[in-house]
Structures are given as structure tokens and as C-alpha cells.
């Protein structure tokens, strides 16, 4: 049975990751809700941002077998797993001389605002409002670049 995610589940997931040495920030629909950018609603997944050079710590967490990895979503920029039938996705946020970014298959780069990791809401680390709205605003352009990768 697939259930909707609730705030208790978000806290549980973030806590489990934290216990494994993985510091993640709530992103996506949950971040929008916690920041007051959208009204409360049902959520089908949990999106998280993970600032690191690579997924080494996350892969170690997944290798323990405590959660079910969604291997079809294992990419250079993303890892995913299920908790109680709810999908959790972690997006890798790296840093270089130009700032913070996520590299989608070497084809599309999304640059994050400098304040992306400076917010806390509801007792959770949450991506900043600029990060959430900026990602949403650039979604169509990102998809167009990725579509070009698939057809090229």
C-alpha cells in the first residue's frame, strides 16, 4: 500500500539520513509548504537536496539495506529510495568556483542561489524560497535541455 507522505515521515527520513552522516535539506513541495509558498496539500514524495562532492555517504546508507533503493533513479545527480511506500529523492548539490549547482548528466546545469542552505522552517533544514521558486521557474528550460540529450 502506497501512502502519502506527511510531515512526521519527512522528519523521520531526515533523521535517519542524519544518523547515517547525510545532512539533507527539504526541497520541492514540502519546502514550498513549510516556507508558506504553497498551501498545505497531500504529498506523494519527499525531495531533498544533498550538498556534497559525491554520493559516497548516501551510497553507504543505501548499502546497509535499511531502505529499498529505487535503482531506476540512480543517476550521477540523484539517488532515490522508499520509506513506507513513499519515494524519497536526493539531488546532489556540488560547488565550484561559480557557486552551488546540480549537474544533470553533464548536459544541463542548474545553479542554486547562495542562500539555498541558510533556512530552517518547522524545525527542519529547508531549501530557501529563492531556491524553490528558481528551480520551478527554470523547470521548462531544464527539461528542454534534457530532452535534447535524449534525442541527440
Dump pLDDT digits (tens) for 6-46. Answer: 999 999 999 999 999 999 999 999 999 999 999 999 999 99
Q: Cβ distance 50 to 16 under 8 Å?
A: no
What span, in angstroms and rounded, lies between the C-alpha atoms of 1 and 141? 35
Residue 152: pLDDT band (50, 70, 90) is very low
Domain-by-domain residue ranges, the chain? 7-151
Contacts of 83 (CB under 8 A, 6+ apart): 9, 12, 13, 16, 67
Q: Cβ distance 56 to 69 under 8 Å?
A: no
β-pairing verdict for 108-111 and 119-121: unpaired
CA angle in degrees (0–180, nearest 5) for 40-133-150: 110
Dump pLDDT digits (tens) for 71-85. Answer: 999 999 999 999 999
**CATH architecture, domain 7-151:** 2-Layer Sandwich (3.30)
Amino acid at each position: 500500500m502506497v501512502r502519502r507522505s506527511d510531515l512526521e515521515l519527512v522528519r523521520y527520513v531526515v533523521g535517519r539520513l542524519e544518523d547515517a552522516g547525510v545532512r539533507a535539506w527539504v526541497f520541492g513541495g514540502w519546502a514550498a509548504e513549510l516556507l508558506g509558498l504553497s498551501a498545505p496539500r497531500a504529498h506523494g514524495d519527499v525531495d531533498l537536496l544533498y550538498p556534497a562532492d559525491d554520493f559516497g555517504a548516501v551510497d553507504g546508507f543505501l548499502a546497509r539495506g535499511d531502505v529499498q533503493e529505487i535503482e531506476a533513479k540512480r543517476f550521477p545527480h540523484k539517488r532515490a529510495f522508499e520509506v513506507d511506500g513513499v519515494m524519497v529523492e536526493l539531488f546532489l548539490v556540488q560547488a565550484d568556483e561559480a557557486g552551488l549547482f546540480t549537474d544533470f548528466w553533464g548536459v544541463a546545469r542548474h545553479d542554486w542561489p547562495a542562500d539555498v542552505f541558510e533556512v530552517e522552517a518547522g524545525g527542519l533544514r529547508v531549501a530557501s524560497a529563492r531556491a524553490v521558486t528558481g528551480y520551478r521557474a527554470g523547470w521548462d528550460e531544464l527539461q528542454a535541455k534534457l530532452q535534447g540529450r535524449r534525442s541527440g
